[in-house]
Structures are given as structure tokens and as C-alpha cells.
């Protein structure tokens, strides 16, 4: 995996965890928090959790799979990305639209 791919995976992991972390088991949530967000090694996370390195790896793998499945069904990250694109287009075109229309769309995007 290239450095860019690794960075993109870390960003995706963070977005997934922010959106769906509360739906993981406690052990999965702790393992993901330590290894993916706090950047602890598998060995460090394993020591803290009282499991093997392989156990931490398995917890993270299952958590990622679960969060990706949730994203497929719920689409929280995709929706957030679309709203950001709409907000950007709204800001770019603010001068070309009536102010009251801009405010209506801005309220919708921010809610």
C-alpha cells in the first residue's frame, strides 16, 4: 500500500469511526480507538486490552467490515461529502443568487 493509500485509509477509518463507532462492541471500539486513532501499535493495544496482537488485528478487521457495511446501508459519509460539495457550490455562486435564496439553501445544508 502506498503512502497516499495509507493516508486515505486512515482518513476513511476516522470518518467511519466517527460515524459508526458507537455501534461497535466495546472491545472493537477500544481496539479501533487505540490502533487507528491514537496510532498505538498492535502490541501496545493488545497489552492494554489483555488480548494478543492477532486478537487486536481481528477486532479491527471485524470493526472495519461492520462499519463499511453500515456505510453501504446508511451512507452517512457519502451524504456528508455531498453536502460539502453543495455548500462549496453555494458559496461559489452566492453573488449570482438572491440573498434570501442563498440563506434558505445555507440553512438547509447546515441543518
pLDDT of residue 21: 96
Which pLDDT score is estimated for 3? Answer: 79
Domain boundaries, the chain: 1-74, 75-111
Q: What is the pLDDT, as a whole number, of residue 111?
A: 86
Taking only the tens place, the pLDDT of each residue in 51-70 is 999 999 999 999 999 999 99
Which residues of the chain have a pLDDT value below 50? Answer: none
CATH class for the domain made up of 1-74:
mainly alpha
Listed in sequence order, the residues at least 6 apart from 45 whose beta carbon sits closer than 8 Å to its beta carbon are: 30, 31, 34, 35, 56
Amino acid at each position: 500500500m502506498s503512502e497516499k493509500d495509507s493516508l486515505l485509509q486512515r482518513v476513511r477509518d476516522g470518518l467511519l469511526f466517527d460515524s459508526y463507532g458507537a455501534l461497535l462492541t466495546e472491545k472493537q471500539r477500544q481496539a479501533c480507538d487505540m490502533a487507528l486513532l491514537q496510532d498505538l501499535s498492535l502490541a501496545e493495544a493488545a497489552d492494554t486490552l489483555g488480548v494478543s496482537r492477532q486478537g487486536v488485528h481481528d477486532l479491527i478487521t471485524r470493526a472495519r467490515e461492520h462499519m463499511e457495511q453500515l456505510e453501504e446501508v446508511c451512507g452517512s459519509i457519502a451524504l456528508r461529502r455531498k453536502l460539502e460539495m453543495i455548500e462549496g457550490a453555494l458559496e461559489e455562486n452566492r453573488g449570482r443568487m438572491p440573498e434570501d435564496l442563498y440563506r434558505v439553501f445555507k440553512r438547509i445544508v447546515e441543518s
